[in-house]
Amino acid sequence: MSKSKDCGDWQWQWRHRLAGLTAIGDFLALSEEDLARRRAAAERYPPLATPYYLSLANPTDTADPILRQVLPDPAEIEARWTADPDPLAEQADSPVPGVVRRYPDRALLLLTARCAVHCRHCLRKRNWGRRIEWNHGAADQAFDYLEKNREIREVILSGGDPLLLEQEKLQNLLERLGRIEHVAVVRIGSRLPTVMPQRFTEDFCEMLGARPGRWLATHFNHPRELTDESGLACRRLLRAGVGIINQTVLLKGVNDNAEIIRELGLGLLRIGVKPYYLFHGDPVAGTRHFRTGVRRGLQIISELRGRVSGLAIPTFAIDLPGGGGKVALTPETPVVIPGQPGGDEDFLFSRLDGEVCSYGDDGSG
C-alpha cells in the first residue's frame, strides 16, 4: 500500500484502515523486537489507524507524537496501577440507553463505538470493539427523552466517532433533532478532521451545516496534525456554517510543553478553529503513562499568558471523577492542600452537586 497521505478519498482511507499490531507494524516497518514488547497491550486494547494518520508519523523516532497516540505501549497494562474504565461515571449518568445527562441544559448521545483511529489515551477505550450502534429502538427512546425534557438546549453527538455513521442515518438524526424546538445547538464531537479529513466533502459539510447552531468539537493534540488536508476540511465546514472548536488532551511525551501548545493554538486559529479546552488526562484504565500531574498544565497556561494572544490559549480543565463535572483551572487556582512532606497533594473542588471533592495529584494524576 502506498504510504502517501494524499492517497485516496475517505472511502479508500476507511477501507484501508490498519487494524491490529501486525498491519500497523508492517506499514511503519517496525522491528520484530519493537512489536514483541507491544503485543500484550495490543491484545488488551487493539490498535487501529488510517493510512493518512500513520503517514504523519516518523517511524524512526521513538518519541514521535503521532506514534505515541496510536501504538500500544506496555505501560497500558501495568498491573500496579488499577484505574476505573469509566471514571467519569457515564454509565451511571445515563437515564436511557445511549444518552448521558450530567448538566441540566445538555444531553450527550452515544451513537457508535466505531472510530477511524484508536487513540491510546481515549476516555472510552473500554468500548473499543463493542457493538454500540444507533438503531431505531435506541433512537425512539432517546428522542422521546429529549422531547420530554424541555430544559435541554444542547445535544452533543458523541461515540466513538459519530461522523462514521452512515450519511443517511446521520442526516435523519440531525433533521429529527432540528424538529425539537427547545434544542438550539447540536455539537458534534469528532476526531475525523485530525485522522481522516478526507471525510469532509463539500456535500457532507453542507449536510452538517444545513441549520444554524451546528458546532463541531474536534481533537487536535499536536501541531504535526495540522496539514493541508485538515485545513481544507475545516475551511469547508466553516463555509458551510459549522463553527469549530478544539479540545486537546494534555499528554505526557506528546504535547506537555508550552511551545507545542502555543504552536498548536496559533495553527488552529490560522485554520479558523478556536482552541477551547486543554484537558488534564482523566484517570482512565490503560492511560496512566500519559498523565502529567495538574501542575504541568497550570505551568503551561502560565507560560503562555502574555506571550500569545488569549484567542490561542485554551481553558485548562479537569473532568471530576464520578460525574462531578468540569472545573476550569487557572494558575491562580487557590485550593491546594499540602500533603505529607515529600508526598502527594490534593486539590479541592466543588462538584456540580455542591459537594466538595478532593482530587489527588501524585505527579502523574
| Residues in touch with ligand SF4 (CB under 6 A) | 115, 117-119, 122, 124, 159-161, 191
Q: Which is nearer to ligand SF4, 51 or 298 (CB)?
A: 51
Output the smallest distance, CB 117 to ligand SF4, in A: 6
Residue 277 bears catalytic tag:
no
Q: Which residues contact residue 140 at a Cβ distance below 8 angstroms, ignoring those fewer than 6 apart?
A: none
Q: Which is nearer to ligand SF4, 142 or 164 (CB)?
A: 164
Q: Which is nearer to ligand SF4, 298 or 317 (CB)?
A: 317
Out of 326, 346, 351, 357, the active site residue is 326
| Residue 112: CA count within 13 A, CB half-sphere | 15
Out of 7, 44, 93, 103, the active site residue is 103
User: What is the layout of strands, in order, in the sheet containing 356-361?
Assistant: 336-337, 345-350, 356-361
Output the smallest distance, CB 127 to ligand SF4, in A: 8
Residue 313: name the closest of 291, 330, 296, 326 by CA: 330
Residue 124 bears catalytic tag:
yes
CA distance 110 to 6: 31
Output the smallest distance, CB 122 to ligand SF4, in A: 3
CA distance 21 to 30: 10
Output the smallest distance, CB 160 to ligand SF4, in A: 5
Nine-digit cell at 207?
449536510
Out of 119, 191, 205, 252, the active site residue is 119
Out of 115, 126, 161, 205, the active site residue is 115
Output the smallest distance, CB 219 to ligand SF4, in A: 6
Q: Which residues contact residue 11 at a Cβ distance below 8 angstroms, ignoring those fewer than 6 apart?
A: none
Output the smallest distance, CB 118 to ligand SF4, in A: 5
Residue 119 bears catalytic tag:
yes
CB burial of 202-220 (b: ≥16 within 10 Å; e: otherwise) equals eebbebbbeeebbbbbbbb
Out of 68, 282, 288, 361, the active site residue is 282
Q: Which is nearer to ligand SF4, 230 or 345 (CB)?
A: 230
Residue 234 bears catalytic tag:
no
CA distance 306 to 277: 18
CA distance 78 to 67: 19
Q: Which is nearer to ligand SF4, 159 or 347 (CB)?
A: 159
Out of 7, 34, 44, 106, the active site residue is 106
Output the smallest distance, CB 152 to ligand SF4, in A: 22
Residue 276: name the closest of 331, 236, 218 by CA: 218
Residue 122 bears catalytic tag:
yes
Q: Which is nearer to ligand SF4, 55 or 127 (CB)?
A: 127
Residue 115 bears catalytic tag:
yes
Q: Which is nearer to ligand SF4, 67 or 298 (CB)?
A: 67
Residue 357 bears catalytic tag:
no
- H-state helical runs in 184-335: 192-195, 202-208, 228-239, 258-270, 294-304
Out of 39, 44, 102, 295, the active site residue is 102
Residue 191 bears catalytic tag:
no
Q: Which residues contact residue 224 at a Cβ distance below 8 angstroms, ignoring those fewer than 6 apart?
A: 56, 65, 66
Residue 255: name the closest of 194, 322, 345 by CA: 194
Point out the residues that are catalytic.
Answer: 102-103, 106, 115, 119, 122, 124, 282, 319, 326
